[in-house]
Amino acid sequence: MCDAAVVLRACRRGDVHLVQTLQRRYGSAALLRMKDSRGATCLHYAARGGHIAVLKQLTLHGACENTAPRTRVGATPLHDAAVLGELNAIRWLVQQTACNIRDADRDGCTALHLAAR
């Protein structure tokens, strides 16, 4: 099994080629199940960096199609992109995934609340 830290680091850096290699070796589903200690997934890490190519690669096989992954505090990848001002990632997540601008985290904050801070 692949180390989650390697996968999450590749997503954070936007290394789409490494993500593709890891998907071929371990499968897309295995990568998408990997989380850090706070519950953030590959999608969260790619969204934080605004890495659209990685987001596209991770969602090729239907990930985030029906429900958006959430961290332990209820944040979706959209929340993470919003708090860091990654406008292209925000736009892409809203248009291409189940992330919704009305999704609230555990504190009741939506992506708009976080973007305005």
pLDDT for 15-57, tens place per residue? 999 999 999 999 888 998 999 999 999 999 999 999 999 999 9
Query: Inter-axis angle of helices 42-49 and 87-96, to 10 degrees?
Result: 140
Vertex 46 angle, CA 115 and 54, to 5° = 135
Contacts of 60 (CB under 8 A, 6+ apart): 28
Q: Domain limits at 87?
A: 4-116
**Prediction pTM value:** 0.93
- Rounded CA-CA distance 95/107 in Å is 24
- What burial class does residue 75 get, using C-beta atoms within 10 Å of its C-beta: 0-12 exposed, 13-18 middle, 19+ buried? buried
Read off the CATH number of the domain in which 106 is found.
1.25.40.20
